[in-house]
């Protein structure tokens, strides 16, 4: 046994020594690069971004936040530091670490961080915080909310115009109030365009995994198509990819969400309802840079293009017949002539 013991020890020492000699060689190199903390070297401010589960490559929600912040970084000469959160327990230490370092602004992406922010924000009165998709009270917190019902009404209206079968579908991700809000206004929009239309709806699930189940998303879409739906709107995160597959397979139309998803299946995506998290993130950073930060609830809607629908070369042809009518409805929503029903308000 003793011999083995020494052998392991010897191996360990050899590996360790090799590693250490490499380390020392390498540090010098990195010192000359000055790669240690670029934050300290740039003259501008550093902004902290705590991303939701899913990470910055989700091609939707988190990606939009990163896009908005990097645009601001370029324009104002800032440094952006972002942290991805593996699970719920990591939000609080991430927010706290940023705040402890004295960053002027820390942005929390996603309603899952509301609890963590409620704990952290009061302890750092000199740091400004912003949260997307949730309301957190506090003199140093801005809550960035979106009028999802306006955009959903608009794409619902489009679906109602475009359907030939008088049936449209909706595939939601996790069954939460936020997605109910999408559904309610979508249904109202479709009915406003076409009173005879039937709106089918399904949710992928009731847990967080419902955002990442494209197989189930496709199944639900196919079943709606079997029941006659020929336009399907999804608000289901990555599960929505299955909806696009089903639309392509059965030659019906899909409507994307959050980011511009028109390019996923060119010609089969009528449009995408844009929820410009990038615009919101950019706006709040700009305010902090200019010293005009205002705490409290901020809503983004059709009016300020925080909510929009996407038109590009991928869907120009398919959306053309309805475009003028849509613009008319958009103007009416902005002017208040049409009020899209809001699930949040109807519940109270």
Which residues are near other proteins by CB under 8 A? 1, 4-5, 8-9, 11-12, 15-16, 18-19, 22-23, 26-27, 29-30, 35-38, 81-84, 86-90, 93-94, 96-98, 100, 111-112, 114-115, 119, 134, 174, 176-178, 206-208
Minimal distance, residue 208 CB to other proteins, in Å? 6
d(CA 47, CA 59): 22
Residue 276 main-chain phi, psi, to 5 deg: -80, 75
Cβ closest to other proteins, residue 57 vs residue 312: 57
Minimal distance, residue 254 CB to other proteins, in Å? 25
3-state secondary structure of 80: strand
d(CA 95, CA 199): 41
Cβ closest to other proteins, residue 8 vs residue 317: 8
H or E segment to which residue 205 belongs: strand 198-205
Q: 117 and 108 in contact (C-beta within 8 Å)? A: yes
Pairing of the two strands 46-51 and 79-84: parallel
Minimal distance, residue 252 CB to other proteins, in Å? 30
Pairing of the two strands 46-51 and 141-146: unpaired
Cβ closest to other proteins, residue 89 vs residue 226: 89
Cβ closest to other proteins, residue 134 vs residue 221: 134
Minimal distance, residue 163 CB to other proteins, in Å? 30
Cβ closest to other proteins, residue 83 vs residue 338: 83
Minimal distance, residue 295 CB to other proteins, in Å? 21
Residue from 81, 182, 134 nearest 280 by CA? 134
3-state secondary structure of 231: strand
Cβ closest to other proteins, residue 86 vs residue 195: 86
Cβ closest to other proteins, residue 49 vs residue 154: 49
Q: How many CB atoms lie within 10 A of CB 329?
A: 22
Q: 113 and 273 in contact (C-beta within 8 Å)? A: no
Cβ closest to other proteins, residue 28 vs residue 164: 28
Q: How many CB atoms lie within 10 A of CB 294?
A: 9
Strands of 253-258's sheet, edge to edge? 198-205, 167-174, 231-235, 253-258, 269-275, 307-309
Minimal distance, residue 100 CB to other proteins, in Å? 8
Minimal distance, residue 271 CB to other proteins, in Å? 26
Minimal distance, residue 170 CB to other proteins, in Å? 18
∠157-330-201 over CA atoms, to 5°?
30
């Amino acid at each position: 046994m003793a011999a083995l013991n020494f052998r392991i020890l010897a191996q360990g020492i050899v590996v360790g020594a090799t590693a250490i000699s490499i380390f020392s060689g390498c540090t010098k190199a990195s010192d000359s690069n000055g790669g240690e903390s670029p934050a300290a070297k740039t003259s501008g401010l550093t902004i902290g971004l705590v991303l939701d589960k899913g990470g910055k490559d989700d091609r939707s929600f988190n990606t939009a936040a990163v896009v908005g912040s990097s645009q601001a970084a370029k324009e104002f000469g800032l440094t952006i530091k972002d942290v991805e959160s593996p699970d719920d327990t990591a939000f609080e230490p991430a927010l706290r670490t940023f705040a402890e370092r004295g960053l002027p602004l820390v942005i929390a992406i996603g309603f899952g961080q509301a609890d963590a922010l409620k704990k952290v924000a009061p302890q750092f009165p000199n740091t400004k915080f912003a949260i997307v998709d949730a309301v957190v009270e506090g003199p140093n917190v801005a809550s960035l909310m979106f009028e999802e019902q306006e955009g959903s009404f608009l794409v619902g209206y489009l679906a109602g115009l475009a359907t030939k079968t008088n049936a449209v579908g909706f595939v939601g991700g996790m069954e939460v109030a936020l997605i109910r809000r999408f559904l309610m206004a979508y249904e109202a929009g479709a009915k406003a365009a076409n009173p005879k239309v039937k709106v089918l709806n399904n949710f992928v699930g009731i847990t967080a995994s419902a955002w990442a189940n494209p197989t189930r998303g496709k199944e639900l879409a196919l079943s709606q198509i079997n029941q006659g739906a020929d336009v399907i709107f999804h608000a289901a995160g990555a599960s929505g990819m299955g909806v696009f597959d089903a639309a392509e397979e059965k030659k019906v139309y899909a409507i994307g969400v959050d980011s511009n998803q028109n390019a996923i299946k060119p010609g089969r995506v009528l449009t995408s309802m844009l929820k410009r998290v990038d615009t919101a993130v950019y706006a709040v950073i700009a305010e902090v840079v200019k010293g005009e930060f205002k705490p409290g609830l901020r809503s983004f809607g059709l009016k300020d293009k925080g909510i929009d629908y996407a038109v590009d070369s991928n869907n120009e042809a398919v959306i053309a017949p309805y475009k003028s009518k849509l613009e008319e409805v958009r103007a009416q929503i902005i002017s208040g002539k049409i009020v899209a029903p809001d699930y949040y308000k109807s519940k109270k």
